[in-house]
Amino acid sequence: MSRCLSIFLAVVFSVASLLAQTAPKVKVLILTGVSNHDWRATTPVLREILERTGRFEVRVNEEGRGCGPETFAPYDVLLLNYNDYKQTAGLWWDARAREAMLDFVRTGRGLVSYHASNNAFWGWPEYDRLVGGTWRETAGHGPYHAYTVKIVDAASPITNGLPATFAESDELYHQLSLQPNIHILATAWDDPKNCWKSGDGCGTGKDEPLIWTLEYGVGRVFQTALGHDVKAMQGAGFQATLARGTEWAATGQVTIAPPADLR
């Protein structure tokens, strides 16, 4: 990279950082309280990652049932850390809360689906269409391990300026049920030698989509399958894409600069 180009990029990222600090804060509501993952541990980390950028104001709601349009109205984006995996509809949010979430997004605001939130709401097809990719009958993952995430669309506002690859140590979801309208931003090769000790549940030997976006109505949805636990959430790539994806879902733009230490 030439010295002139390096200086130009430094200026661009400095201006972006300044804009992120001076623009009105994006208001985020984390919806959680039920999961087969440790939501009590991961929710504070999600909040800290976002608030540390200076771009977000974050609140947490641990009871989705009973929510309605008035609950979501003050916010720019909803972040789901919720998973009622294979449960009956009795544990689901009530119909009013679910319809309020759909209306929130389809009328122009944002949604972030984090990791196992794509396991939620089995038997509700509209949720599958909302988040673009869900853990259903064919899905799985091999053991938690180190792998390389590959950016497949470097032109997206979310990934622009990020390196072509970055390292993660995490679960690697595979064979998710994907909607035809998703826009894939990043994948990872799922090593077929990465198997559980029983020999079952090996990697697929394919590039599996892990981060994507889609439009729902006139709203925006960002999904990341990364970040299984607090340890995995420490990855710079996870943190950068989460923050930038959340800003994009809320506003359609990204002002948060790429981290200097991401590789």
Global pTM value: 0.90
Classify residue 96: in a domain, yes or no: yes
Classify residue 57: in a domain, yes or no: yes
> In what order do the strands lie in the sheet containing 77-80?
56-61, 26-31, 77-80, 110-114, 219-224, 207-216, 183-189, 145-151, 165-170
Per-residue pLDDT at 198: 77
Structure tokens at 154: 């470097």
Classify residue 161: in a domain, yes or no: no
**Residue-range definition of the domain harbouring residue 115:** 3-137+178-184+208-251
CATH of the domain at 215: 3.40.50.880
Classify residue 146: in a domain, yes or no: no
Classify residue 44: in a domain, yes or no: yes
Classify residue 166: in a domain, yes or no: no
Classify residue 201: in a domain, yes or no: no
- Provide φ and ψ at 207, rounded to 5°: -80, 120
Structure tokens at 90: 């009795």
Buried/exposed 52-86: b ≥16 CB within 10 Å, e otherwise: ebebbebebbeebeebeeebbeebbbbbbbbbbee
Q: Is 17 left (phi over 0), alpha (psi -120 to 50) or beta?
A: alpha
- Provide φ and ψ at 157, rounded to 5°: -55, -30
Helix (H, G, I), strand (E, B) or coil at 262: coil
Classify residue 123: in a domain, yes or no: yes
Report how many domains make up the chain: 1
Per-residue pLDDT at 19: 54
pLDDT in tens, the chain (263 residues): 555 545 544 555 555 555 545 679 999 999 999 999 999 999 999 999 999 999 999 999 999 999 999 999 999 999 999 998 877 556 689 999 999 999 999 999 999 999 999 999 999 999 999 999 999 999 999 999 999 999 999 999 999 999 999 999 999 999 999 999 999 999 999 999 999 987 678 999 999 999 999 999 999 999 999 999 999 999 999 999 999 999 999 999 999 999 987 87
**Terminal Cα-to-Cα distance of the chain (whole angstroms):** 17
Q: What is the DSSP letter of 13?
A: H
